[in-house]
Structure 1
Amino acid sequence: MKKSVNIALGVVVVAGALITAGAWYTGTRLEGVLGDAVQQGNQQIQAAFVGHEGSASVELLSLDRHFFTSTAHYKFTIQNPRLNDGQPVELLFVDNIEHGPFPWSRVKSLNLVPVMAASNMALEKNVFSEKWFAMTHDKAPLTGHFSMGYDRAALGRIEFLPFQFDDQNGSFKFSGFTLNASGSANGEKLEANGVLGSLDVTATSEEGPVSLSLRDLTFNTGGTKGKSGFYLGHSDAKVTSATFQAAGRPPVQFKDFVNTSLLQEVEGNLNAQVTYDIGDITFDGKDVGSSQMVWKFANFDIASTKALLQIYQEKIQPQAQAAAAEGESYTPHLSPADQALVQAEVGKLLSAKPHIELEKLSLKTANGESHFSLSMDLSNPTSLDQPGAALLKQLVTQLDAKLLLSKPMIQDLASLQALSAGQTDHAAIAEQAKGAAESVGGMAIMLQVGKVEGDNITSTLHYANDVVDFNGVKMSAQQFAAAMMGKVVMFNQAQ
């Protein structure tokens, strides 16, 4: 028995020594690790601000090391012409760091996987954050809990406390937000998910009050950095309901909104798919229906896509933002060298024969569904400086478009419009709605832009090799353009 006790005591002593040695080792490495993390974070912040007004940075102010714990202080600085009269805003954070391999906060929760450190960060009160603290009853409105492994993989959770305020310009009510995130060393792989319970915002305008309300926002995203430098993988976001009301206008509400996206690298090119679903749309409290939009992109050359994106962020986007701030219309201004670069990169992009497709755009009401689709394949023309018909023939190798309008759906929308206008005679409304649907069908036939097939109005277009097939009638692209101009004139005269 005594021998067993001695063995047990020996194990405890050895374990304690190992933990102590690990804590000491962590303490010696911590400053370098934090310095690298701050440097990497600033690089990512700088990349995120490209093309945007202002700047932001993180600074490690101090690190007070002890044997089992350390305390770090950070400063986050953000500067924007529209924030704080253009003067820098500084937020201070304190980070209580527990050394590994077994930080006590993780041991208490029976999480016994060894880590280098566990971080417990909180926003500190200063002149810039004291109003925020007042709205959260003097509790830190922003906290974070993270752990970093010896391989520098990180896992963490950020929480924003609920708060609300009201002033002469409007009100803001926020239920709080939680973000969970993880990443491998050097950010090669990232995962994140977040939850927002509710958000209510009202603001005043010259026309009257404007309001926005969100309920149950969740998102989940994850990706691995590919050879392109883009994060490849999935992303999805869901909102149970979103309500917007402009001044003097009825409220519009979207329910069960879902957005999903996927980005992939395929044979040196980028492929993507983006889907938007709205389960229920209401206008002025009246049901409209549901909607879906699906986009697909394929064969986008990686190098040229990155180059064009960089030009947009560094050259075009700042100009557009400056024009918008002044309330002016925007016209791009690029130097001759930038113009030549754009033309060269566009040529490379088109040489990969990109495919762009609006697979589905639909609106479904109680009695019918309408939908539209469009797809096109592009190629690199011998020159962009050539007549329009010749350029189109070389640039667009194929284009397909299909439109189906449901007459019952048109009737539903016409009835909704009449009800929103205050009409109450349901028989008269039904008769007007039927007339509206028949009028659309008759106009399509008169202008020869569509066919009526039962309860549907259909129109199709196919283009390839300078030949347009419009609802079964073939013509050249120039003839088609002239025909469409004539139909526009006829439509305006009919109105």
Structure 2
Amino acid sequence: MKKIAGSALGAVVVLGALSTAGAWYTGQQLPAVLETSIQQANEDMGKTMPALGLSATIELVSLERQLFSSNARYRIQFAGSLDGESPSNFEWFVTDRIEHGPFPLSRLQTLKLLPVMATSNYALERSPELEKWFAGSQGGAPLQGQVSLGYDRSLSGNLRVQPLQMALDEQTQIDFSGLEIDFDSSANVEKISASGVMDSFKVTSTLATDESMRLEFKGMNLTSNTRKGVSDFYLGQNEVRLQQIELQIGESAPILFKDFVQRDETSEANQQLSARYSYDIGMISYQGNDIGSSQMLWTVKNLDAAALQSMVELYGSLLQSGKVDSESGMPQLTDEQTAQFKTDLEKLLAGKPGMALEKLAFKTANGESSFSLALDLDKPVSFDLPAPELTKQLIAQLDAKLLVSKAMIGDVVGVQATIAGETDKEAIAQQATMLSEMASGMALASELAVLQGEDISSSLHYANDQVTFNGKQMTVDQFVALAMSSGGGLAGMGDDAPADDALLDESEGENTLQ
């Protein structure tokens, strides 16, 4: 028994000695580790923040080292504007209690037994500029979290934005349940994965019409899996899901957007970037009536990574130096910077970039309508060409297609009638059929559309200064003339067309909608 006790005591002594030695080692290495991490963070933010209209830098203000822990203080300086209208330069301070490894107490308390180099416990510091935010968070640090640094320089931790109730101004109030994000990254932040949850975020405001407005987001989940590519841009997938978005104006019934999903995916091949951005709404409802679902998909392709990176870095440097107009967002360039921007733009266009609204669709119970638009660009011989010739050389090709479902028109008319309180199903069906046929007739009479089965369709293709419109080839001038004459004819038809009330009055007896 004495031998067992002696062995256990010896193990504790050895473990304590190793922990003390590890803590001392961490304390010695900490300044260099922090400096490297801050430098890396500043480089990464310099490449990504300009896309948000901001620039930010982190600075280590102080570091007090002890044997088992250290206290650090950082300054984060921001410049730019998130809304494009309110330029500001402000700074936040963050306090950090750093527990030295290999076995920080906070990790042992949560049964995380793998050794780490250090664990950071950070929190936003109170200041006069942030007083309203702190007060709205019941006085605690509204932004805080914990990050552990592994001996392989990997990171794992969390970020917590505390619940918040506060008035932005006399008209606007925020009620926020809080946000929690867990994340992991490999050494040098080469790979990042994250997940987060939020229960609700509600904004109530008084509009200029003195009506109240309420916008509420409920049940958010986010996931992210990205890696740094050869071009230093982060590639991979991000997804945000919301169970419901609720919008209410005045005393009217709220509009509900259910099962909202936003996804983006970025990829890289042959030093060119491509991306996809999709937005889906599972169902739009009003007064208990399901109206339909919606989908939007954007894509970009063939973006020269080096040229894009150079343009982003230039914009970031201009933001930091206050050389970006707050109202227009346009940068103030020197002659040298103008030449650099022009070189980057030429390189970007030489890659033949393209952008497309691949699908904008609205689907009801019996039909789906959609619109698509794709634009491919090319490098012009010169940017000094007259505007018409420059446009002709910039646009390699353009494709557009509109498809309107007659059945969808009928569904929408039926829902409108139901919301208005109509109960005669036969009369509602007749009205829906009549209005969908009228829309079809007007579109066909204008020569801007054709009938494709039970859908009204219009298509346009442009390339090499030639237009193919609804299957017919013509010059650009001929197309413009057709569009103008058809538009005028359609407007005239609209003047002569009977009003909806007159059309409805033609229905007899019980089939007339009052």
**TM-score category by the smaller chain?**
0.7 to 0.9
Distance 1:319 1:365 in 2: 49
Aligned partner of 1:180 in structure 2 is 182
Structure 2 CA distance for aligned equivalents of residues 337 and 247 of structure 1: 54
Residue 383 of structure 1, CA deviation: 3.6
Provide the residue aligned with 2:67 in structure 1. Answer: 67
1:378 corresponding residue in structure 2: 377
Query: Is this contact kept in 2: 1:174–1:198, CA < 8 A?
Result: yes
Paired with 1:478 and 1:171, the residues of 2 have a C-alpha distance of: 54
Measured at CA, do residues 435 and 383 of structure 1 come closer, stay the same or move farther in structure 2, by a change above 3 Å?
A: farther
Query: Counterparts of 2:218 and 2:151 in 1: how far apart (Å)?
Result: 39
| Amino acid across the alignment from 1:122 | A
Q: Deviations for 1:338-382, whole angstroms, at most 9, x for unmatched residues? A: 665544433322222223333222110122111223334333233
* Contact 1:389-1:478 within 8 A present in 2 as well: no
2:16 match? 16
* Pairing 1:248-327 to 2, within 5 Å after superposition: 251-283=254-286, 286-310=289-313, 322-323=326-327
Question: Which amino acid letter does the alignment assign opposite residue 472 of structure 1?
Answer: G
Q: 1:108, CA displacement in angstroms? A: 2.8
Q: CA deviation at 1:408?
A: 1.1
Q: Decide whether the 8 Å contact of 1:199 with 1:215 is kept in 2.
A: yes
- Indicate conservation of the 8 Å contact 1:51/1:314, yes or no: no
Where 1:322 maps in the other structure, the secondary structure is: coil
The 5-angstrom pairing of residues 3-402 of structure 1 reads 9-45=9-45, 50=50, 57-76=57-76, 91-165=92-166, 168-208=170-210, 209-246=212-249, 251-283=254-286, 286-310=289-313, 322-323=326-327, 341-386=340-385, 394-402=393-401
Structure 1 pair 58–359 and aligned structure 2 pair: CA distance change class (3 A): closer
Rounded to whole Å, the distance in 1 between the matches of 2:98 and 2:381 is: 61
Deviation at 1:17, TM superposition (A): 2.0
Residue deviations 1:231-272 (CA, integer Å, cap 9, x gap): 111111111111234568764332111111111111111111
- Corresponding pairs, count: 489
Assess if the C-alpha contact under 8 Å between 1:51 and 1:315 holds in 2. Answer: no
Change (3 A) 1:127 1:105: same
Partners of 2:325 and 2:290 in 1: how far apart? 37
**Which segments of 5 or more consecutive residues in structure 2 lack a partner in the other structure?**
495-514
**Cα displacement (A) at 1:160:** 2.1
**TM, length-normalised to structure 1:** 0.85
Question: Any conservation in 2 of the 1:192–1:222 contact (CA below 8 Å)?
Answer: yes
Distance (Å, rounded) in 2 between the aligned partners of 1:440 and 1:477: 27
Between stretches 423-432 and 264-273, larger displacement belongs to: 423-432
C-alpha separation between the residues in 1 aligned to 2:323 and 2:214?
Answer: 30
User: Aligned pair in 2 of structure 1 residues 337, 88: CA closer, same or farther (>3 Å)?
Assistant: closer
Over aligned residues, Cα RMSD in angstroms? 3.6
Closer, same or farther in 2 for the Cα pair 1:485/1:165, shift >3 Å? Answer: same
Deviation at 1:3, TM superposition (A): 6.1
CA 1:259–1:342: 2 relative to 1, 3 Å: same
Moved more, 37-46 or 49-58: 49-58
The TM-score, its normalising length taken from structure 2, stands at 0.82
- Contact 2:352–2:379, Cα closer than 8 Å, also in 1: yes
Query: Residues 379 and 395 of structure 1 are in contact (CA less than 8 Å); yes or no, is this contact kept in structure 2?
Result: yes
